[in-house]
Amino acid sequence: MSNNKCFKLCIDFGNTRTKCAVFENDDIVFTEAFEKFTLAEVKKIFKKFPEISASIVCSVIKTPKNILAFLDDKTQLTELNHQTKIPLKNKYASPETLGKDRLAVSCGAFSLFPKTNLLIINCGTCITFDFVNSKQEYLGGSISLGLEMRFKALHHFTQRLPLISKKEIKQLIGTDTSSSIVTGVINGTVAELEGIIKNYEAKYSGLQIVITGGDADFLKKHLKNRIFAAPNLTLIGLNSILNHLQIH
């Protein structure tokens, strides 16, 4: 890229929170997460960074039209979809159904570790696994229940099990109902993650594992494998897509 300063706004509308970041070229100069993201918040960002000239929106929910209209007026706006040109070759069989957040984290991991076999684990509302090979091809992955969803499911689909929140555990054996739920959900999720990682490592050499999402720090402490944590991976991916669009 040019040495000239380029300010870009990347917004990730998730199921529970909206995260945004302002990049100066490839450096994050501002980032924040919002429970409720409004046009007023967008205007505050532009007041602080009036140099923003490009923006990109990734959304798994219905994106507020007034925010899109504002960004379209103020910047060169990109709404990420399956037709957006990205740094990867998308080999997914039904690209129009692929979650935009999965595409963004894959591009983010590729920007950090190019020409590498990558397994990206996004631990949010759902736990998603995405694979990018060393040939720069996105092949797909899998979707599983996130931690909070597992706790809620046990409570919702039974008559007597209480709703429990995630907490650190040391024991394998639960000695009452509450601790049995916690050890079941946490140890079960960790075993699932380690099993899937092991299967990928057996098939792909030199595998780099990248973990992100709201529960990434919590789960990473329980995993034995060598894992790189990237808390802003979706936003990094969105910025890499904007960079790619500026070149092509």
Question: Residues 6-36: pLDDT tens digits?
Answer: 999 999 998 888 999 999 999 999 999 999 9
Cβ partners under 8 Å of residue 85, min gap 6: 241, 244, 245, 248
Residue 50: how many CB atoms within 10 A of its CB? 10
130 is catalytic: no
Fold of 139-229: Nucleotidyltransferase; domain 5 (3.30.420)
Q: What is the pLDDT of residues 156-179, one digit of tens each?
A: 999 999 999 988 888 899 999 999
* CATH architecture assignment, domain 7-114+231-247: 2-Layer Sandwich (3.30)
233, 216 contact by CB (below 8 A):
no
- Helical H runs in the chain? 39-48, 65-74, 100-112, 147-156, 177-203, 216-220, 233-247
* Percentage of the residues of the chain whose pLDDT score is greater than 90: 87
Residue 135 — very low, low, confident or very high, per pLDDT cuts 50/70/90?
very high
**Domain range summary for the chain, segments of one domain joined by +:** 7-114+231-247, 139-229
Which residue in 9, 6, 79, 14 sits closest to 44, CA to CA?
9
Domains 7-114+231-247 and 139-229 share a fold: yes
Alpha carbon separation from 113 to 100, 137, 207, 233 (Å, rounded) = 20, 13, 10, 12
* pTM exceeds 0.75 for this model: yes
Alpha-carbon distance of 63 to 66, in angstroms, equals 9
Cα separation, 16 vs 141, in Å, equals 22
Candidate list 12, 101, 130, 215, residue with the active-site label: 101
Instruction: Compute φ and ψ for 158, nearest 5 degrees.
Output: -130, 165
Q: What is the pLDDT of residue 248?
A: 67
